[in-house]
């Protein structure tokens, strides 16, 4: 605990950054408070003059709603906005993307190869009539321009465009400010990828944008797609930045708003849900990144809104343009590797302290295996085969563990004699016990160490099966989605930690673990198997532990429970084989 406290303490630099950020927030809050106070301290006659016309025409003049508020003033950029709004739909083999000239970007992206939990097409962008992307900068007229509030001219003709599997297409917009000043967006979309390329041209605007820098970001929140958003999606909704060779995450744990600024070279920024993400990176020199998180209520409430945004601050090149590479799609290993390999770090493949082992296991074993068997069998059978293969690989460790446990069982009578002989002298009792271990060639930890060596693999698979899109919406037997719980029983009441439903594979897994515990406690050479020493308490724990796992695993992915079910069934088979071999060896020795 002391080591963890020291490790988790913020550095001096982090403390200074937090203090600076707090001071900035305090100054903003103070400025807002002064502005509000000035409004409240206006002379009564001015206030009455402002209110009287409203009272006189209260019946004739409708009040403005939030949607009817005036557009923000942005000088010549506002004047360049056109009146008509248009849409164009890009149809590709992977998705349908609706682009709007309000903000000049996508307002809707619907996937063809992925569905929500209730079998509706996944729509990435939360309901909006504007572009999810927005470009912002400060003008020489001292206006703060946000392009998602501007209406561009759609240069690409028509309202639909198709792109083939190995082809690409372009969608172009322009904001015509004057004869020699234009802001031009050119999107390139690919038929075989979820990647989008954007080229921005600042024609004749080099003197109108202060500092030659601008922000580009994804403003719209992402839609949740899974059945229980409070327990599945909300846990993963967050924003990321990759800078200086490290990935940083912004995740809110309570209601409110939080921002994080990062200076220097930015490789990419992203926002995500459990299985889908949008990512942005640029070829231009970068200055900083901004992550914004907003949460409307408690995390575990289904009505809570989660809104995350990510921005990159970059320079306009000497050619007066900027280029962005975006990704809007699933957190699929191969799709992300094709985009940027470091982005797969957003997928939780294991605990950080175990990443040195879990990352290679996932990257070089699990993912290639499922990619290979995908053409030959369903994912349910693939998980079963995978569990069998893992148990075969670990069989030498399993055999060593059971043999050591059985040897300890054989020593129980002699250990009991030592305990009774030196009942009043624990030190002599310990020395005599260790001497017995040495004489008999038994390692008291021999039954534990082989199991501990298996734990990193088991923990890695435990984390990966819960978080990977690999088994999402893959059906097997009664489970309609191996990445979600396979509930088969509904209870008339709710049980703490368990809930009001019980999963099928978890019940079978628990039964298998009970059977294995029974077998461990009652078999072995001479009928006294590998039961762990420790008397009645340890034997009781063998049966309590499977019952505890019923509560722990009940709300986890069905694929994970299926894996552990087969793992335990194969363990029982191996146990029977090992004990039978040991019985034969004992009979031969006695003969």
Which position has the higher pLDDT, 11 or 157? Answer: 157
User: Does residue 242 form part of some domain?
Assistant: yes
Q: What integer is the mean pLDDT of 495-512?
A: 83
Q: Which helix (H) or strand (E) holds 187?
A: strand 181-190
Task: Specify the pLDDT at position 21.
Answer: 53
In a domain, 490, yes or no: yes
Instruction: Give the span between the Cα atoms of 252 and 352, in whole angstroms.
Output: 20
* Digit-coded pLDDT (tens) for 282-333: 999 999 999 999 988 887 787 888 999 999 999 988 888 999 999 999 999 9
**Residue 14 in domain:** no
The answer to whether residue 47 is domain-embedded is: no
Task: Assign 65 a pLDDT band (cuts: 50, 70, 90).
Answer: very low
Give percent above pLDDT 70 in the chain: 82
Answer with the one of 347, 378, 402 that is the final residue of a domain.
347
Q: What is the pLDDT of residue 576?
A: 84
Question: Same domain for 105 and 199?
Answer: yes
What SS3 string covers 291-359? EEEEECCCCCCCCCCEEEEEEEEEECCCCCEEEEEEEEEECCHHHHHHHCHHHHHHCCCCCHHHHHHHH
Average the pLDDT over 166-183 and give the result: 91
Domain span holding position 375: 356-590
Q: What is the mean pLDDT of residues 393-412?
A: 76
Question: Same domain, yes or no, for 402 and 469?
Answer: yes
DSSP 49-105: HHHHHHHHTTTTSPPP-GGGSPPPP-THHHHH--S---EEEEE-SSEEEEEETBTTE
Task: CATH number of the domain at 320, please.
Answer: 2.70.98.90
238 in a structural domain: yes
Higher-confidence residue of 536 and 447: namely: 447
The answer on 317 and 181 residing in a single domain is: yes
Q: What is the pLDDT of residue 289?
A: 93
* CB crowding 3-41: b at 16 or more within 10 Å, else e: eeeeeeeeeeeeeeeeeeeeeeeeeeeeeeeeeeeeeee
Q: Are residues 222 and 370 in the same domain?
A: no
pLDDT band of residue 498 (cuts 50, 70, 90) is confident
Whole-number pLDDT of residue 372:
87
Name the percent of the chain lying above pLDDT 90.
28
Instruction: Name the residue with higher pLDDT: 559 or 336.
Output: 336
In a domain, 438, yes or no: yes
Position with higher pLDDT, 586 vs 389: 389
Global confidence as pTM: 0.74
Q: How do residues 210-257 score in pLDDT, each as one tens digit? A: 888 999 999 999 999 888 777 778 888 899 999 988 999 999 988 889
Residue 48 maps to a domain:
no
Q: What integer is the mean pLDDT of 20-49?
A: 49
Does 31 fall in a domain? no
List pLDDT tens digits, range 74-111: 788 888 888 888 999 999 999 999 999 999 999 999 99
pLDDT for 242: 94
Provide the pairing of β-strand 256-263 with 266-272.
unpaired
**Domain end marker among 310, 325, 347:** 347
Read off the pLDDT of each residue in 28-40 and give the average, rounded to a whole number: 49
Residue 68 has pLDDT above 60, yes or no: no
Q: Are residues 216 and 283 in the same domain?
A: yes
pLDDT at 59: 38
Confidence at residue 509, expressed as pLDDT on a 0 to 100 scale: 87
437 and 553 housed in the same domain: yes
Residue that is last in its domain, among 301, 326, 347: 347
pLDDT band for position 449 (50/70/90)? Answer: low
For the chain, the average pLDDT equals 80
Between 554 and 4, residue with greater pLDDT = 554
* Residue 215 host element (H or E): strand 213-218
pLDDT score at 17: 56
pLDDT per residue as tens digits for the range 315-329: 988 888 999 999 999
Assess whether pLDDT exceeds 70 at residue 50: no
Q: Are residues 446 and 342 in the same domain?
A: no
User: Is the confidence at residue 177, as pLDDT, over 80?
Assistant: yes
Same domain, 182 and 269: yes
Q: Are residues 205 and 156 in the same domain?
A: yes
Res. 166 pLDDT band, cuts 50 70 90: confident
Q: Are 246 and 304 members of one domain?
A: yes
Residue 380 shares a structural domain with residue 322: no
- Is the domain of 307 the same as that of 402? no
Q: Is the pLDDT of residue 159 over 70?
A: yes
Q: What pLDDT score was predicted for residue 49?
A: 41
Number of domains in the chain: 2
Quickly state the pLDDT bin for 19 (edges 50, 70, 90): low
């Amino acid at each position: 605990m002391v080591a963890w406290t020291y490790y988790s303490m913020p550095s001096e630099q982090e403390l200074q950054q937090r203090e600076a950020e707090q001071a900035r927030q305090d100054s903003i809050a103070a400025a807002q408070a002064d502005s509000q106070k000035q409004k409240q301290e206006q002379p009564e006659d001015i206030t009455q003059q402002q209110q009287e016309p409203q009272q006189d025409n209260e019946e004739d003049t409708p009040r403005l709603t939030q949607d009817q508020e005036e557009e923000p003033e942005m000088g010549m950029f506002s004047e360049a906005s056109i009146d008509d709004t248009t849409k164009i739909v890009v149809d590709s083999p992977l998705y349908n993307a609706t682009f709007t000239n309000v903000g000049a970007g996508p307002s809707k992206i619907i996937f063809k190869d992925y569905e929500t939990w209730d079998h509706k097409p996944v729509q990435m962008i939360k309901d909006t009539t504007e572009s999810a992307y927005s470009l912002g900068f400060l003008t020489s007229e001292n206006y703060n321009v946000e392009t998602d509030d501007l209406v561009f001219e759609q240069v690409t003709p028509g309202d639909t465009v198709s792109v083939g599997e190995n082809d690409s297409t372009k969608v172009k917009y322009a904001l015509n400010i004057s004869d020699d000043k234009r802001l031009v967006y050119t999107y390139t979309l690919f038929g075989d990828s979820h990647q989008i390329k954007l080229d921005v041209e600042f024609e004749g605007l080099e003197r109108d944008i202060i500092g030659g820098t601008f922000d580009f970001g994804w403003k719209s929140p992402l839609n949740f797609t899974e059945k229980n958003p409070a327990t599945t999606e909300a846990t993963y909704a967050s924003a990321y930045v990759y800078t200086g060779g490290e990935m940083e995450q912004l995740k809110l744990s309570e209601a409110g708003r939080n921002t994080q600024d990062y200076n220097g070279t930015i490789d990419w920024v992203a926002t995500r849900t459990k299985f889908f993400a949008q990512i942005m990176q640029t070829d231009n020199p970068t200055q900083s990144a901004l992550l914004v998180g907003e949460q409307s209520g408690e995390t575990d409430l289904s009505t809570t809104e989660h809104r995350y945004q990510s921005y990159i601050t970059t320079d306009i090149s000497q050619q007066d343009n900027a280029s962005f590479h975006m990704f809007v799609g699933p957190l699929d290993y191969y799709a992300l590797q094709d985009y940027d390999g470091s982005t797969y770090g957003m997928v939780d493949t294991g605990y950080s302290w175990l990443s040195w082992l879990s990352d290679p296991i996932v990257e070089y074993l699990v993912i290639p295996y499922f990619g290979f068997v995908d053409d030959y069998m369903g994912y349910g059978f693939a998980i079963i085969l995978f569990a069998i293969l893992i148990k075969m690989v670990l069989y030498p460790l399993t055999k060593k563990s059971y043999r050591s446990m059985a040897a300890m069982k054989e020593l129980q009578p002699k250990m009991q004699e030592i305990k009774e002989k030196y009942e009043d002298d624990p030190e002599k009792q310990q020395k005599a016990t260790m001497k017995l271990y040495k004489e008999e060639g038994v390692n008291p930890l021999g039954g534990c160490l082989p199991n501990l060596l298996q734990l990193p693999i088991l923990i890695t698979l435990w984390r990966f099966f819960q978080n990977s899109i690999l088994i999402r919406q893959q059906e097997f037997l009664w489970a309609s989605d191996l990445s979600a719980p396979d509930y088969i029983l509904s209870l008339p009441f709710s049980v703490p930690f368990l809930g009001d439903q019980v999963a099928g594979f978890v019940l079978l897994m628990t039964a298998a673990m009970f059977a294995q515990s029974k077998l461990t406690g009652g078999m072995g050479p001479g009928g006294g198997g590998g039961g762990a020493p420790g008397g009645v308490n340890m034997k009781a724990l063998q049966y309590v532990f499977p019952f505890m796992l019923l509560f722990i695993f009940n709300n986890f992915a069905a694929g994970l429970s299926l894996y552990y079910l087969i793992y335990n069934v194969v363990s029982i088979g191996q146990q029977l084989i090992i004990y039978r071999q040991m019985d034969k060896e004992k009979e031969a020795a006695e003969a």
